[in-house]
Structure 1
Amino acid sequence: MISLLFFGLIGLVIMIIYKNRIGEHLAKNNSLVNQLGQRHWFQNQWLAGLSLFGLNAVLFFLTGGVLYGLMFLLIPYIHLVIMILAVIVSIYLWVVINKAWEGSKVNRLKLGAVGSSFYLILTIVSIFMMITLEPQYPGEDTFMRFIGLFFSGFVTAVAFFTCFFITGFSKSRKN
């Protein structure tokens, strides 16, 4: 499990380093970039940030629902495929939003901060639950619950930073 998180983190760091090259390939003649770029409301950093916040929430809860449904199937390792697909779709949509939005660097940071704050909230909730973790009955070992909360905090923190860097620091170029 640690190795999967480590390799996933290394992959995300590489993706952040090469985000402009990836963005150029993804955004060429992309109809979603063109449609969002033409929307007047989307050029407001607060509205675009709120739409990114909502998009992150929808993707998170949709993935969680699919993973919950997969608990009832006996297909091994399919949850890993679903999680990898969720990461790919999220990064793709973040790049699309980055390419479609035009504005100043400060407003881009506002867009990224508002949109990625969904994952910051989840990170804070995970850390709070980890700190206030108590046994539900006398003698219960809370180690595995702590490990689960630690991993959820780590994953949501990585998602926060990745979303913020892709949407807040990338330079948007209209193709």
Structure 2
Amino acid sequence: MSLTLFLFIGLILIFFVTLNKRPLLNLLGEDNFLISKLKNAVWFQNYWLAGMFLFIMNAILFFSTALLIYILTYFLIPYVHLLVMILAVVASIFLWVILNQAWQGTRRNCLKMVAVGSSFYLILSLMLIYMLVTLEPSYPGDDTFMRAIGIVMGIVVTTVAFISCFIFTGFLNKKKLN
């Protein structure tokens, strides 16, 4: 299976998960340990601090996944990197849902928190766009096509992560369906 097909299938799955996010909310429940800890934390009710927490958690998840994938390149185990990427997406979505459920402030402050926290992926997207625009061959006659394809895939992934983080953390309705 080509990486482009995997990326396309992943985008479609993220789209459907975003549309059907209610089961995720019901899966966590109101007595979740992390939700109750964050609800009781005084610092978490400040949207700047909560946004920086989200920013740092997004960075930790992203860079730990990148490090794990880099380490896996030294082993000849096929398709494990795809499993790592899927688990990273699932962990990110659950983190975003937990943060949404723990937030007790106003909707406006929640959106400010999300803007600060999800800006990690926006910054990555902008950096990748800059890399694509300034892409030059390393040596005369170097073909930059494959590097450009990788950068474009990175732009797609980070943009989808930005939008998904914004939706799951900022616009998830906290009411449960029975």
CA displacement at 1:139 relative to structure 2:
0.5
CA displacement at 1:24 relative to structure 2:
2.5
> C-alpha root-mean-square deviation of aligned residues, in Å?
1.2
CA displacement at 1:11 relative to structure 2:
1.0
For 2:51 and 2:109, the matched residues in 1 are separated by 10
For 1:173 and 1:97, the matched residues in 2 are separated by 15
Structure 1 unaligned spans of 5+? none
User: Matched residues, percent identical?
Assistant: 51
Q: Report the TM-score, using the length of structure 1 for normalisation.
A: 0.95
Contact 1:37 1:101 (8 Å CA) reproduced: yes
Contact 1:27 1:33 (8 Å CA) reproduced: no
For 1:163 and 1:96, the matched residues in 2 are separated by 12
Q: Report the TM-score, using the length of structure 2 for normalisation.
A: 0.94
Structure 2 unaligned spans of 5+? none
1:35 counterpart residue number = 37
Q: 1:6 aligns with which of 3, 8, 32?
A: 8
For these two proteins, the number of residue pairs brought into alignment is 174
Matches within 5 A, 1:1-175: 1-173=3-175
For 1:50 and 1:60, the matched residues in 2 are separated by 15
Question: Secondary structure of 1:54's match?
Answer: helix
What amino acid does structure 1 have at the position aligned with 2:173? K
CA displacement at 1:3 relative to structure 2:
1.8
For 2:43 and 2:174, the matched residues in 1 are separated by 18
For 1:69 and 1:93, the matched residues in 2 are separated by 24
